[in-house]
Amino acid sequence: AQSVSQHNHHVILSEAASLELGCNYSYGGTVNLFWYVQYPGQHLQLLLKYFSGDPLVKGIKGFEAEFIKSKFSFNLRKPSVQWSDTAEYFCAVTNAGKSTFGDGTTLTVKP
Amino acid sequence: DAGVTQSPTHLIKTRGQQVTLRCSPISGHKSVSWYQQVLGQGPQFIFQYYEKEERGRGNFPDRFSARQFPNYSSELNVNALLLGDSALYLCASSQGQGGYTFGSGTRLTVV
């Protein structure tokens, strides 16, 4: 069974700090990869997605993620976080119609 | 544009009862997925439907069933409710294999 592991449960950063959230998945075949964000009081929103091609994908609000196939990883990055990035972030993997989410990383950005 | 709409928003049921949750996808989206989310965890995949056919099923008991209608709306049914079924149930839609757009969910409480 495929699984998704997000290494950090809670990350606290100051504004302008750089962000990297780890995501590893277990499935060895072809997968589609996603990062979702859930702002306080809002529903899940798609940040970015990877299907194939350039392993560095850019999403909304200055986020990007790099797919490293050899490491089964899809880490999320942002060069300079803002207070408004405070949210919960979920990594997800989809294969053959089945989606698996990680347990999420809560990001708190201090102003 | 209307997003993914789910009804009801909140529901309280007694153990052993049956419940039906409803979802209307974004116009033009033919794929609908259902997830269960409990506090502190990521969404757990229940079902995916595409063009009214089941395309994926998660590790949930047969008490859980779903269907998709010709207008692409969907229902999730849960029979013989258990206390452990208390959770937020999320519906998400997409045009195909792309990233999903989530609804705000139905909060089910089983007492």
Give yes or no for residue B1 having a pLDDT over 70: no
Taking the C-alpha atoms of residue B36 and residue B44, their distance in angstroms, rounded to an integer, is 5
CB nearest to B42's CB, from A45, A51, A104: A104
Beta strands in chain A (DSSP E): 4-5, 10-14, 19-21, 24-25, 32-38, 45-50, 56-58, 64-68, 73-78, 87-95, 98-101, 105-110
Test A43 with B43 for CB contact under 8 angstroms. no
- Minimum Cα–Cα distance from B6: chain A residue: A43
Mean pLDDT calculated for residue range B29-45: 94
- Minimum Cα–Cα distance from B37: chain A residue: A103
Test B58 with A92 for CB contact under 8 angstroms. no
Average pLDDT taken over every residue of chain A: 93
pLDDT tens string B40-90: 899 999 999 999 999 989 999 999 999 999 999 999 999 999 999 999 999
- The residues of B whose Cβ lies within 8 A of any Cβ of A are 33, 35, 40-45, 48, 50, 55-59, 90, 92, 97-105
